[in-house]
Chain A
């Protein structure tokens, strides 16, 4: 049975060991002044919730789990630490799986490194806590799922279900995985040799155990969102995790074609996944079906308008590849795998590197410093931190980086506050400063829409820099010109 051969203390110790490189990298980059958008969004919300003393002021940010964990000690260091630990825990589980394959130590090391040390995965591991957490939970669920369907270990089945239910609060796609696991359980039960009950009620029972918690989590969250916002699916388009981008007038066939094209292109950059799928076809033919279904499922998800990020896809393929290597393959095949792993490093090195966040991150890592824009944002934040409470009108849909760097939400008056709407109409009556995004403001950012070009009545321009304008009320002291 998986995971039962190591005590929980043993697991914790190994997680700590495997986390070290990720935590060190995350903290180093954080120290350089880089903060990913993903972490900044979560941190801004956490700071807001802590300062206002109410969780629901954040308008039910989705996914909530990273946000909730960040509220324990809201700071960029916390998110770097948490992200590194999630990555280390995932790496440990992958190493655990590689050990079971009985491949030589060198081969296992190369395989793990080829997946963990590519830029895309390192970015995911250190700068995207929610996605790393989701991947880790899915991997944990997978292990317990196998114990359940292969050995009939009921406790494992319920643990897998609960972990998948929890994973929904880290990623919407836990639903997809939960349903996939649930639908696969009858297939696994038929592969068992111990005469396990294969009747329809037994299949239904096993399916329900795996699927119920995730479905219940989805229903509960949709219900909460409906109660407080009137729209049960609002969370799918939350800025923190844009899951759903409804195709604007695109034909369904066109969407499917586009999704397939994207998925295929992605797949070609996953030689390790393809090689492991091939090995399964050779050694465990029935398991190959599961491999082949993964890209198909991703394509279907994307064609429906859901966003399955490039780096998240990289993580998904990598985890499945390493966790799916058959046991006791021949030495020659293990040599082939190592060669493919090295090819993987080259092929996936460019994945995700075109996104702005990752470009800045790579620059910080390679050059040893954050870019100028980030530095300016940090400097601005330090100034804004000195402002009186609720004196700066801002919208966290655009200003999350600034708020995160400030380290507190206290100076800001934000959309979650009840007087925000009034302040937006009559800034002079409510606030001393207005922070407006002058480059592309986030959808719904009224401040950027109204005040990007000119100050509100009764306000002067205090300063501009890299995409921001700060206005001050005529009688308010300048925040930017202070020594």
Chain B
């Protein structure tokens, strides 16, 4: 009876305390940290978004983070601690899994006698004590309050090596066969050596026949690739006007339905684009309090870090320092960011990106409309400096063709979609299940898209565009393109390690699409100079040997490639202008064969690097364009076809 009375009294006093305890907003106003009308504004937003008041106040810049948490500490009845000044016992903290600490937003600070001081950014609860005792045994838990930023900062410091290890080796430890850390497996190396020896033996024993076989193989492969692209792009063109997500659907979306969205922006040596980046992200149409923007900065990139600080980004932007270590790649940085991501969805943007404002909302709708296994949706990419010079015009044609026709065509034909390097939107939980990105693959996006398909997940496309800066300098273009092609080579090597398993997992149809796209692309570019060289040699010399290398069937395929193949690729490039009405670019489609020669140069550089520096990330310089604002020639896609 006495015990029940005591517990009733305790319950009553708790209720009495909570009734007498001022609310957060009122408390801030009372302490002169917030104006009353600002509180009204924030409450109005809270009613609309359903989000926490504290987050709204921070996102709107009405209250500083540390001030908010100081008041929360008072309200929760616990002391406030500044983890920038308060040292954290690393040894104590390492009793815990950092993922649990990130999820629970807490970190043990130190022991005090028989008790453990635990910093938390959430209201202290029995669950917190349970977490601590599960790692440390029966101890007294003394909560102290700190900001969520402090928690993440402390975790990054304490678990620096663990973070680096997981970001770098996580996928490899999880499944070595999925990581490009091993460039060639034993059997692949053996097969390559055997192939080389076979060709050498063939050339020695039956030169003409071997050469005919090689010429035939190259030509047939080239023809197959051209026809494949033709079929896919016409499939994409047939549904050109179908808008997967309409404006009315976006408008009908209520802010309270929207989940937290994490945006990862890896930057490296890009001090000059930080300012515009912050500005571009500001234009996103999404409740600021539900946006978590993580700017991923390399530890040794002091210039960019300084530029980021100087840009004074809003509170929704958090700097995440990526520990220095090899390989120094974008996917590694993204894995660090993924570790700290708290959003239900996650998107990647590059530093120079200008996404359309409603892109996040369209992604949310796409996920909600899509099947449960939809792991990622890809937005289209295009360029805001399309007309800057010949190279940017060709690049824009290429990208328009790829994102407006090829990817939708792949989607329609239910073939695997290789992701673009940016504007990929993920379901965060499924992304973690997939193991994140492969830091050893320099086109981690393409690899991830295919890894998803191999595991039965789906990748889709959304009708939204992110505008980027097209490379306007040939050297820079070749560096960028060589990295992409090297990445494709890495991806094909990784995913063909176990061909039988791949077929069983994805089916023949997906395997075909994968081989044609990911394998066919670098092979085609490697073969193009050989084909042109053979043709020119034949044309100039008209030697008997030249004719001997082209028996009837081979000759017909070669002629098809030379005439029909090149013509088709030029014609399909013309397709690129229609969806976005980039009509002024159409004459440049005629230069497609020359553009492919640039690809070939990049492909040979890629091959060389695959063998000598497979993980080297060829950095693309940004901010070179003289265009400060989106190009006037670029317009929104046409209205849905009636």
Contacts and interface: CB of A to CB of B under 8 A. Distances in A.
B240 A154 contact: yes
B159 interface: no
Nearest to A197: B581
A152 interface: yes
A210 to B, nearest CB: 11
Contacts of A161: 571
Contacts of B555: 56
A151 B641 contact: yes
A379 interface: no
Contacts of B574: 158, 205, 208-209, 212
A217 B556 CA distance: 16
B427 interface: no
Interface in B556-591: 556, 559, 563-564, 567, 570-571, 574-575, 577-579, 581, 583-584, 586-587
Interface in A110-151: 151
A420 to B, nearest CB: 19
B372 interface: no
Nearest to A1: B641
A53 interface: yes
A156 B238 CA distance: 8
B586 A204 contact: yes
B583 A199 contact: yes
Interface in A190-212: 194, 197, 199, 201-202, 204-205, 208-209, 212
B107 interface: no
Contacts of B539: 227
Interface string A329-340: 000000000000
A53 B552 CA distance: 8
A199 B581 CA distance: 11
B638 interface: yes
Interface residues of B, number: 28
Contacts of A213: 567, 571
B536 to A, nearest CB: 13
B240 A155 contact: yes
B564 A220 contact: yes
A158 B571 contact: yes
Interface string B223-252: 000000000001001101100000000000
B288 to A, nearest CB: 36
Interface in A258-292: none
A204 B588 CA distance: 12
A55 interface: yes
B563 A201 contact: no
A154 B579 contact: yes
Given A197-B583, A201-B583, A158 B234 contact: yes
Contacts of B238: 155
Contacts of A154: 237, 240, 575, 578-579
Nearest to B230: A162
Contacts of A212: 570-571, 574
A153 interface: yes
A211 to B, nearest CB: 11
B567 to A, nearest CB: 4
Contacts of A227: 539
B462 to A, nearest CB: 20
A209 B586 CA distance: 9
B237 A158 contact: yes
Contacts of A157: 578
Nearest to A207: B586
Contact of B581 (A54, A159, A202, A224): A202
A208 B585 CA distance: 12
A216 B574 CA distance: 14
Nearest to A52: B552
A312 interface: no
A24 to B, nearest CB: 35
A308 interface: no
Interface in A154-174: 154-155, 157-159, 161-162
A223 interface: yes
Contact of B563 (A53, A158, A208, A224): A224
Interface in B442-474: none
Contacts of A205: 574, 577-578, 583, 586
Nearest to B564: A220
A208 B641 CA distance: 22
Contact of B638 (A152, A155, A217): A152
A209 B638 CA distance: 18
Nearest to B635: A197
A204 B241 CA distance: 21
B412 to A, nearest CB: 12
B180 to A, nearest CB: 38
Contact of B234 (A155, A208, A217): A155
Interface of A: 53-56, 151-155, 157-159, 161-162, 194, 197, 199, 201-202, 204-205, 208-209, 212-213, 216-217, 220, 223-224, 227
For the complex of A and B, the 5 pairs showing the least CB-CB separation, nearest first, are A201-B583, A220-B563, A155-B237, A205-B583, A201-B584
8 contacts: A151-B642, A154-B579, A158-B574, A159-B234, A199-B583, A201-B586, A213-B571, A216-B570
Given A154-B578, A208-B587, A216-B570, 8 more contacts: A54-B552, A56-B555, A152-B641, A158-B574, A194-B642, A197-B581, A216-B567, A224-B559
Interface of B: 234, 237-238, 240-241, 539, 552, 555-556, 559, 563-564, 567, 570-571, 574-575, 577-579, 581, 583-584, 586-587, 638, 641-642
